[in-house]
Structure 1
Amino acid sequence: MSFLSGHASTTYTHHPTPISLPTKSGSRISFADLIKEATPPCRLNPLLFNGHLQTMWTAVKDDGPPVYYKRRIYESTHSVYPGQFTVDFVVPKEEGLKSTTDESLPERTIFYSEKEWESVGSDDDRSMLVCLHGLSGGSHEVYLRQCVAPVTAAGWESCVVNGRGCALSKITTPRLFNARATWDVRQAIAHLRGLFPNRPLYAIGFSLGANILTNYVAEEGDRCVLKAAVACSNPWNLEICNLALQRSWLGMEVYSKVMGGNLMKLYEKHREDLVNGEGLDEERIRKCKYLHEFDRAVQAPTWGYPTEGAYYRDAQSVDAVIAIKIPFLAINAEDDPVSPPFPCGSVKLPY
């Protein structure tokens, strides 16, 4: 009967021999025990008694805390996938309020001037959190600001790496973001390491951003400059989650349709830059309603995949975990409508 009061259980999965970390007192504690001690009890609103209601509530709740950003455009250094992406840096409220509003950007976001950017670097040793948003999102998202606000209030610095074409950013090549694209994150973090050589860097990713972050940390292995990383609501196996969405009416007509609609809005915004992309059929794109249809018509051909299934299999992070060499925390809800523990009957996601 505990569910009537909103009490939910928490389960933990970790390596048989978890990493040991030093404490301020000089003793050591296993990473697994540290997480168990730091994780508060899960107390949910009893009226939101399943994952569907909890997910839908996020669309109607308050606007979240105001967070002010200054944006920097990065030119990609990738030899195969040139283009540009943006990074939004959290700035103090006072600095944000005295800045002129830029209607071309999300609310409370403006560009750094070249003069301002020249003085951004610092030798301070404040911790810094690098954030990655979910599908078609950006630094303006409520869930992301709910994370950034308390962290920066506690004295941390923070920034958000926006996916290509997201958060009202422009694209200069006929490609949007990619669920497999770790290269922009890699470039951003490497640049942050140079700008702030003494800052401990941490990262957190949400949903698709969690998938990208997981792959990035795994690819970096022992070379990873992050002190630790957190993946929230990672879909892990994109192909299985895609099939799971198509197995139910809610999955198709609510979640997949909403995500597909958001991607179509993104396409419309960048249509002139995308329409001449290799392999794109605009008539086919116009008929897209669902997430997998958009990925089949747009993402797969623009990134060189023969099918959306090939795209999902290449992008998934489910097997990347074994290559991670830094403290890494993954948080998933067992009733997550998009990445449930048993997405296709007896097929279980391992994390």
Structure 2
Amino acid sequence: MGILSWFLPNGRVSFHHAGKSVILKRKPQKKGSGVDESKCISLADLCKSATPADCQLNPFLFNGHLQTAWTLMRTDDIPVYYKRWRFEGDSPDYRGSFEVDFVVPPYDVNKTSSSLTSAQSDNGTFESSTPPDSTHPSPRTSFFTKEEFSALPSDDKKPMLVVLHGLSGGSHEPYLRNIVDPLHKQGWEVCVVNFRGCANSKVTSSILYNARATWDVRQTVRWLRKNFPSRPLFGIGFSLGANILTNLTGIAKDMGGIADIF
């Protein structure tokens, strides 16, 4: 093939997963629908059945580095709106705060006090305070008011996705919004756990993050389980975030309360 293979690159898709995959229950199917009517399927087989065997690659984006860089060069925007809450670490071993962004319907950010102006003070009370960094606010993001956050708990059964971004990223990253936007439009609830100091969050202690830093996401999952007891929780991680989720599955017998991790 030679030069022709460069102009028409064809990638083979391969799957890497644990020998024993999670078993999922299928939704009931109508008779004659042509869909496999067996009651269960493994997560690995589900991914294989939904993924084409081949992919046609762009000849100018022939490796992962170029593909990542291209996401920053594209001019199209994906408007995802967030409301943020600052959690205080509940363990004396991991003192400090971290911030979680919840995807919400579009709103006029200009009508809020200012993008990322804090409705919370550093000690968790709700007082007027200085934005973490008013010169570099995250787009379409503002803090919850006390009343808004108090109204969040629900008994609904919507699926909820917990997202972990990559190294030094945040909820504003294009790769993350590409995943979040269509899911939210389909009725999913979504929250992004920002690593300490990322996404314009304030660093309040010497405890930061690394690939083994599962403490903030575990606290978030506990909070979600308490306030949304009927919601099935799912997790997805990108790059470093995927490493943290992998470590979470290794140290938490119940996977931190998350139904499935991708």
- Smaller-chain TM-score range? 0.7 to 0.9
Amino acid at match of 1:168: N
Paired residues for 1:187-266 under 5 Å = 187-222=219-254, 224-230=256-262
Q: Distance in 2 between matches of 1:3 and 1:29?
A: 38
Contact 2:109 2:115 in 1 (8 A): no
Amino acid at match of 1:61: R
Relative to its length, the structure with more helix (as a share) is 1
Contact 1:85 1:162 in 2 (8 A): yes
Amino acid at match of 1:112: F
Amino acid at match of 1:38: A
Secondary structure class of the residue paired with 1:224: helix
Q: RMSD over aligned Cα, in angstroms?
A: 2.0
Contact 1:131 1:204 in 2 (8 A): yes
Aligned pair partner of 2:16 in 6, 9, 13: 13
**Structure 2 partner of 1:135:** 167
Q: Distance in 2 between matches of 1:6 and 1:62?
A: 25
Q: Distance in 2 between matches of 1:97 and 1:91?
A: 16
Contact 2:168 2:198 in 1 (8 A): yes
Amino acid at match of 1:55: T
Q: Distance in 1 between matches of 2:43 and 2:150?
A: 39
- Gap runs ≥5 in structure 1: 231-351
Secondary structure class of the residue paired with 1:93: coil
Aligned residues: 230
Q: Distance in 1 between matches of 2:169 and 2:20?
A: 36
Q: Distance in 2 between matches of 1:20 and 1:118?
A: 36
Shift of 1:42: 2.5
Contact 2:169 2:199 in 1 (8 A): yes
Amino acid at match of 2:42: S
Q: Distance in 2 between matches of 1:3 and 1:229?
A: 35
Shift of 1:135: 0.8
Q: Closer, same or farther in 2 for the Cα pair 1:15/1:174, shift >3 Å?
A: closer
Q: Distance in 2 between matches of 1:17 and 1:120?
A: 36
Contact 1:64 1:145 in 2 (8 A): no
Q: Closer, same or farther in 2 for the Cα pair 1:120/1:18, shift >3 Å?
A: closer
**Structure 1 partner of 2:78:** 65
Secondary structure class of the residue paired with 1:134: coil
Q: Distance in 2 between matches of 1:162 and 1:99?
A: 21
Q: Distance in 1 between matches of 2:23 and 2:216?
A: 31
- After superposition, the C-alpha distances for 1:324-350 in whole angstroms (9 at most, x for unaligned) are xxxxxxxxxxxxxxxxxxxxxxxxxxx
Contact 1:86 1:163 in 2 (8 A): yes
Q: Distance in 1 between matches of 2:207 and 2:228?
A: 30
Shift of 1:22: 2.1
Paired residues for 1:269-284 under 5 Å = none
Aligned pair partner of 2:41 in 17, 20, 29: 29
Amino acid at match of 1:160: V
Contact 1:71 1:86 in 2 (8 A): yes
Secondary structure class of the residue paired with 1:218: helix
- Gap runs ≥5 in structure 2: 29-37, 117-133
Shift of 1:97: 7.0
Q: Closer, same or farther in 2 for the Cα pair 1:19/1:80, shift >3 Å?
A: closer
Q: Distance in 2 between matches of 1:6 and 1:64?
A: 28
**Structure 2 partner of 1:47:** 60
Contact 1:130 1:201 in 2 (8 A): yes
Q: Distance in 1 between matches of 2:110 and 2:181?
A: 16
Secondary structure class of the residue paired with 2:244: helix
Contact 1:164 1:176 in 2 (8 A): yes
Q: Closer, same or farther in 2 for the Cα pair 1:27/1:183, shift >3 Å?
A: same
Does 2:180 match 1:168? no
Q: Distance in 2 between matches of 1:42 and 1:209?
A: 25
Contact 1:126 1:199 in 2 (8 A): yes
Shift of 1:63: 4.9
TM-score where L is the length of structure 1: 0.61
Shift of 1:155: 0.7
Mean Cα deviation higher: 103-112 or 84-93: 103-112
Identity of aligned residues (%): 51
Q: Closer, same or farther in 2 for the Cα pair 1:69/1:174, shift >3 Å?
A: same
